[in-house]
Amino acid sequence: MSDSISSPVWELHPQLARDTVAIGDLPLSRVLLMNDANYPWLLLVPRRPGVIELIDLEEPDRAQLTSEICRVSHGLKAIAPCDKLNVAAIGNVVPQLHVHIVARRQIDFAWPKPVWGLLPPRAYDYEDLNRLIKVLHRALLV
Amino acid sequence: MSDSISSPVWELHPQLARDTVAIGDLPLSRVLLMNDANYPWLLLVPRRPGVIELIDLEEPDRAQLTSEICRVSHGLKAIAPCDKLNVAAIGNVVPQLHVHIVARRQIDFAWPKPVWGLLPPRAYDYEDLNRLIKVLHRALLV
């Protein structure tokens, strides 16, 4: 169990901090972009300390997370047209609850397999990343 | 797009019917057990025709699905103690919306990888399967 999980104050798990860039905060969740140009891939991380499973969330937070998953799914689809959204809370490696929302294309490198653990991440080009952060911020948070 | 997706009447996608056994119906979803003894692995399939993505569900159905995911997660954990639940709506192969709920152990064959597409399914022994169906029915639906 990592310190960030057992602490009474929420902080982002260090591995999520390493693998992502922050887009901003919704009422419950921090929205993160995986730094992997293979797929448009977002994470929602509820800012609640000690939460590992979806069922660890109190009922109002679960409802809010469902609403934020839908908001982010619509926003991601609008800026990254896709054939399928993949939505998942797995957490076998990083226990802190985080929900993946991945925009999948039938022409992407992993299709039809799930993305987890399949290909090494391909970091975004610096300018592409900054452009994408701005587009995502406008689409998901404004 | 399969007939079962485009039909105005809900019917279970034939591949889900082949790969699973039915445990019963919650108010929104059919509860299915994957016939794969590698992991305790359930599916929830909302009985709504034409629904592919979580965001295709009307808001009251989304709330109900969230509630059913939690109910089934608690019930599965109670009968199959585990180190982590994996909850996911992927659907790259079978488009009909279905939510996986998998009870993972650190000693299972795939840990820490996700289960999808990793190992060939290992069908349950007939008697084990019938026993498990009864236990799951009591834990999840009564």
B22-to-A96, A111, B83 alpha-carbon distances in Å: 32, 28, 25
pLDDT at residue B5 in the model: 54
pLDDT at residue A1 in the model: 43
pLDDT at residue A8 in the model: 86
Interchain CB distance below 8 Å, B55 and A74: yes
Helices in chain B by DSSP H: which ranges?
3-6, 14-19, 59-79, 126-141
* Residue A83: half-sphere exposure toward Cβ, Cα within 13 Å: 14
Interchain CB distance below 8 Å, B114 and A114: yes
Mean pLDDT of A55-65: 97
pLDDT at residue B3 in the model: 46
Please say if the pLDDT value at position B7 is more than 80.
Answer: no
Which of A44, A56, A84, A115 is most worth mutating to test chain B (most B CB atoms within 10 A of its CB)? A84
Residues of A in contact with B73 (CB under 8 A): 53-55
Q: Are B102 and B80 in contact, with CB atoms under 8 Å apart? A: no
DSSP letters along B66-101, please?
Answer: HHHHHHHHHHHHHHS--SEEEEEE--SSS-S--EEE
Residue B127 C-alpha, separation from nearest chain A C-alpha, in angstroms: 31
Report the SS3 class of residue A118.
coil
Residue B112 C-alpha, separation from nearest chain A C-alpha, in angstroms: 5
Region label for A135, one of left (φ > 0), alpha (ψ between -120 and 50) or beta (otherwise):
alpha
| Candidate from B54, B111, B114 with C-beta closest to A87 | B54
List the domain boundaries for chain A: 14-141
CATH number, domain B14-141: 3.30.428.10
Cα B86 to Cα B103: distance, rounded to the nearest angstrom: 7
User: Which contiguous run of DSSP H or E holds residue A61?
Assistant: helix A59-79
ipTM field:
0.94
Cα B106 to Cα A92: distance, rounded to the nearest angstrom: 9
Task: Give the model confidence (pLDDT) of B25-73 as tens digits.
Answer: 999 999 999 999 999 999 999 999 999 999 999 999 999 999 999 999 9
